Structure formats: C-alpha cells, structure tokens
Amino acid sequence: MSQLSRIQRICDANGISGFEDDVVRAIRDEAGTLGRFAEDSLRNLYLYRTENQSDKPVVLLDAHTDEVGFMVKCIRPDGMLEFIPIGGWVSSNIPAHLVRVQTFDGKTIPGIVGSKPPHYQSEAERKSAPDIAGMYIDIGASNIEQALQMGVDVASPIIPEAKVIYNKENGLLFGKAFDCRLGCTTIIDVLDALKGKQLDVNLVAGFASQEEVGCRGAQLTARKVKPDVAICFEGSPADDTFLPAYQQQTIVGKGPMLRFIDSKMITNPRFQKFALDIAARFDIPVQKGVRNGGATNASALHLSEQGVPTIVIGIPVRYAHTHWGVSSLDDVQNSIRLASAMLTELNAQTIATF
C-alpha cells in the first residue's frame, strides 16, 4: 500500500481516547509483515521488529493512536444528544461540524453539532465564547426511543467527521487525527525502510492509547518495553499562522520540529544534540522548538524506570484539536528520514553518553 493510502486509512479510522480499536486494526493490517504484535488491556499495540536480537539496547518508537472527540452524556427528550469533550477542545471550534456517533456494535451515525442560532442569542451570548454545555448533537432522532433504536446510548463515542484529502499541487494533507496518526504511519514507514537491515539496537514500536487524556497508555508501554532510549513522534501544533516570523518554530513544510522543552519535559540535551547532528549530516531540514505549554507521551516515557533519554520528533499540524488539520507530506517524509538515520547510527556506546 502507498504511503498516502496508509495515511488515509489510519487517520480516517475511528479512535477517540479509550476507543482505539479501529485504529489498532488498521495498524495491524498495515504493518503485519514488519514484526510480532502484542496488545495489553488498555489497547496499547506493540510491534517487535523481526530483526531484533538479544543483548542490544532497546529503542521505543512511540506514537499515540487516539484522537480528540466527544462522548454522549445523555439523550434529551427531543432526541438531541448532550455530550462532553474527550481531550482538549476550544469551544468555538465545535459547533456546526459533522460528527460520527459510534454505536457499540461498531456502526456510525452521522450527526451535526448544534447550538443556539445568533437570531436567538442575547447580546451577552453573542459576545462570549460558546459553552459546550449549551451544545448538542442532532442525529435526526425525535425522541429518546428513536435515538436508542438507532443504536446510540449514553457513553457512545463521538468522532469528528473528516477524511484525508491530499493536494498534490502543494503537497499538503487535510484531515483529522494528524495528532498523532501521522506519527503512527511514520513509525510504520521507518520500520519498513529499515526492514532486513542489521542495527546495533532493537526496535519496539509502542502505539499508545489515551494520550489526549493524560498520556495514560504510554505509562504502560514504558513499563512493559523498558527502553534504553525513546523517540516520541507527535503531531505538533503549528505556529506559522498567528505568530510573527521571528517567533515561529513549527512551520508546516519546513521539516520536523525537535522540541527542547514543554510543560512536562526538558529534553535530554545530549540525545537532542545527537538528533540535530544527524539532521545536519544528512541534510534533513529540522526546526528547533521551545514550548512553555503542551505535553506529549515523552512526559511519561522519560520518567519511567530509572529514567529514559527521550526526544520528540514533531510533525507540524495546523489547527490541531479541531475537525481538520493541515500538514505537509514533506514533513512526514523528513521525519522518516531523520528517525531512520538516527536508528542506523545508534549503538550502546552512543546511548551510554546520553
């Protein structure tokens, strides 16, 4: 399957936090020839590279499978669905969008996020950000019984409706869940690029669940894999549409972003330097990021066991945590190049210096 088809399949899959089954199935199908799979009860998916050998340092390749979304809180007497957010949303980005309400037998029901029209809003309401508590989802049901007959119930997961579009004229991808399904596809492509090659390290992919609600899956993957070092792939929020040029550090189309700090981790400077040196040697474009907010699975990974040197390779995503993101296929490909080159160069002696 082509890289673009893989991105489309994995990003289009249903998979809000805690309900990642569809994504896990897609990854299994896409990466089935690359190694041995295992799962845990939190629906973390592990892929152990076929070429792994004993007595080599272990590198964990991490990306999270879940996406932000919603969950049905209750069904109103008029058939409308009240809901809560799963993951971080800005309330003004939610109304008037199409969603998929997933039934517990796996079907999806289309719905529209509704809110009070401006014609009926008070002046104060028009001037303030919309309140999620005042929103609802219209699936066409007229009462509770009709909604239940459609298969919708309390706790049904709700997924943003979007399917990947690729503009070959500018190389841009438009779609949902780029944070961090693009990281998942990148890991598969890295393992595919290294297939059959003998490395000085063992590779384990950890496709982690529930990152958007507190990096929960990564806490388990770190304990199970016990890596010597970790590379966390993330769909990093782009800053190129609202910051002045001199402050921009995550620009779509300018390469993966290597972050030095965020709210939950100060990146191991020696491992970071190794990555930057590899990028310079192989002429791979990268961006340097200093963040005072946000966090990734690296926050859990780097504090596991006795401490794990961890870096974040961020693929820039405009409008993260909305129905539609924008990313560059070039950034994905350069992330693959960077990670592949790093893994080819890593060995026990180098890791000991971190």
Question: Which of 63, 75, 51, 78 is CA-nearest to residue 317?
Answer: 63
The alpha helices in the chain, defined as continuous H runs, are 3-12, 21-31, 123-127, 144-149, 178-193, 216-225, 269-281, 298-301, 329-345, 348-352
Cis, bond preceding 232 (omega within 30 deg of 0): no
For the record, the structure tokens of 290 come out as 């200093």
- Is-contact 243 264, C-beta < 8 A? no
Residue 109 pairs with which residues in a beta bridge? 101
3-state secondary structure of 113: strand
Q: How many residues does the chain have?
A: 354
The alpha helices in 194-328, defined as continuous H runs, are 216-225, 269-281, 298-301
- End-to-end distance of the chain based on CA atoms, in angstroms? 37
Active site (annotated) includes residue 145: no
Q: Which amino acid is at 178?
A: F
Rounded to whole angstroms, the Cα distance separating 315 from 317 reads: 6
Pairing of strands 58-64, 229-237: parallel
Range 192-202 burial, b when 16+ CB lie within 10 A, else e: bebeeeebbbb
- Is-contact 321 90, C-beta < 8 A? yes
Of these residues, 30, 67, 211, 234, which one is catalytic?
Answer: 211
Name residues whose C-beta falls within 8 Å of residue 123's C-beta, 6 or more positions apart in sequence. Answer: none
Rounded to whole angstroms, the Cα distance separating 197 from 200 reads: 10
- Catalytic (active-site) positions: 211
